[in-house]
Structures are given as C-alpha cells and as structure tokens.
Amino acid sequence: MAITAKQVKELREITGAGMMDCKKALEEADANIDKAIEVLREKGLSKVKKKEGRIAAEGLAKFAIAEDGKSAAVVEVNSETDFVAKNQEFIDFVEGLAKLALDNDAADIDAFKALSFDGGTVNEALTQKISKIGENMNIRRFQKLSEPGVVYAGYLHNMGKIAVIVGIKTDALLDEIQTVGKDVAMQVASMKPEFLDETKVDQAYLDHEKEVLKQEVLNEGKKPEMVDRIVEGKIKKELKEVCLVDQKFVKDSDVTVEEYVANAGKAIGKDMKIASYVRFEVGEGVEKKEEDFAAEVAAQQAEAAKK
C-alpha cells in the first residue's frame, strides 16, 4: 500500500518521530496509524514517553450509576490543558472508564489500569490517547460504591470539573430519590463538607483544631480556666459547618441537610438517610508548576553570558 505524505505528516505530529522513521513505520504497519504508533514506540522512536513527565492537573471527573441505582463509580482523568478536557474523544474516554469502574471491582489503580478496555488494556488505551492527542494524561483515581440498602445519585458541576456521588440508605427506588440525591450532591459540590457526620470526624483533625482554637482563645485574653469550655463550644459550631448532615441546606437554610433528606422520605412514606458521599474535584491536591517567565529569561541570559 502506497504511503502518502499526509499520513507521514500526521504520524510525525502525533509521535514527534523523524519523517523517514514515520514512513518506514507506516509501511511496516500497512498504513495503519495506530499500529505505526506502536511500531515507533517499540523501536524507541516515539516521543510519547517524554510527555509523561509533564504535569497534568486539568481534565475531567465523570461518574456512572447502575440502572437500579444500587451501585455507582466515579473516575478522574487528568490532562495538561483545559482545551484537551473539552475534546470529545477525551470526554468519551473518561465516560468509558467510569462505566468500566462501575462494571468491575478493581482493588486499586494498578488493577484498574490492567482491565480489558477498547481492545487492549486501560493502560494501553491511555498511552494511545497520549500519542494521538499530544498531551500527558493520567488516570488519577477512581472509586466504586456499593452498599446493601443504599441507592446512589450524582451531580456533575461545570461539565465534570467536580463530580459527586451521594448514597441514600432507603427502601425507595432510584426515581424516588433522584431529586433528593441530586440536591444533596449539589450541596457537597458547593459546600465541600469534610466529613459525613461527627462519627466520621478524624481524630487528628479534631486535635489540630482544638489546639488552634485554644491558642486563639488565649490570645483573646480569656481566663485559662474558661479556655476548655470555650474551645468545646467553638468545635461544636465548626463541626456543624464541616459535617454534611449538619450543614444548613443551601436551598432552604431553615433546615439542615439531614432534616431535608428525612422530610423528603416522610413525604413518600419511606425513610431516607445519607449513608455516604464521594467528591472528586479535578486537580485537587495536584502540585501545579508555577511559570515564572521573568526568571526563565534571566536564567537564559545568565547561561548565555557564561559562553
């Protein structure tokens, strides 16, 4: 099969390999671009691996929920730029991975990447996307939720910059809890609670907050014998802000989130209680490289002066 200049150009743009290397790879792969990419990778001629060192802090989070609502999964895939995150091929890829997470029980991210996907493994599909789209990408995390007696609903903010799944313990069906579940998921997206309720509060968090508040109270000049009591009061107030069930419901500040859910259950004659939630915000906690153009120019000038 004759290899065209257009095919060579496309392969070169994807892989960064030399023109003649691209032509030979296409000939070896019978003009199949995807196979040619693999040929170049095998020969160490593709530049794809170099992309893997670049920081990927943009991307998308997507979730998938079973038809009966009894299980759900969420996944975050990072890219280098927001532009790529809006690429339909990238969107389809992330949605496909969310469905895969829902349909499987991978123990960790390595096991997830080893799952069969799109004719190969998840990891192979990821490498192909990096090659084709031209940016580093990373399947950062996933989580599957499935608990007896719990029905799940979700909410995507800003097309997938934040993905939230909420589990409602109830005998109600998915369509009966859909509105409630989405409302609570929107609450989680906007108010960013740190814990479900007081029983889930991390002891290290409590110890740290008590120490900070104690110092704050002492700095205010309060009597030492009053400090512990004041701190306890402040902690209780703070927990109502960081625990989901105790937060004021954003759509009706007269009730807490827990009361809103319970009232919704009473309205249909079926108990409802928030059992769990998971919130993925794209790039959360990823150390982003700060570009300092002035410093970069100065460094280049200094280097040039040495020559």
What is the reported pLDDT for 268? Answer: 96
151 in Cβ contact with 108 (< 8 Å): no
Report the predicted TM-score, pTM, of the whole model to 2 decimal places: 0.75
Residue 199 tokens, joined:
């029983």
Q: Distances from the Cα of 147 to the Cαs of 8, 161, 229, in angstroms?
A: 52, 26, 39
Query: Where would I find the H helices in 114-256?
Result: 122-133, 174-191, 203-219, 224-242
Cα dihedral sign, 177-183-188-189: positive
CATH architecture of 5-46: Orthogonal Bundle (1.10)
CA end-to-end span of the chain: 51
**Euclidean distance between CA atoms 98 and 141, whole angstroms:** 11
Phi–psi pair at 138, nearest 5 degrees: -150, 125
pLDDT tens per residue, the chain (307 residues)? Answer: 688 888 888 887 777 777 888 899 899 999 888 888 888 877 766 655 555 556 667 999 999 999 999 999 999 999 988 898 899 999 999 999 999 999 999 999 999 999 999 999 999 999 889 888 878 899 999 999 999 999 999 999 999 999 999 999 999 999 999 999 999 999 999 999 999 999 999 999 899 888 888 888 888 888 888 888 999 999 999 999 999 999 999 999 999 999 999 999 999 999 999 999 999 999 887 755 444 445 544 555 555 555 5
Write the single-letter amino acid at 62.
K
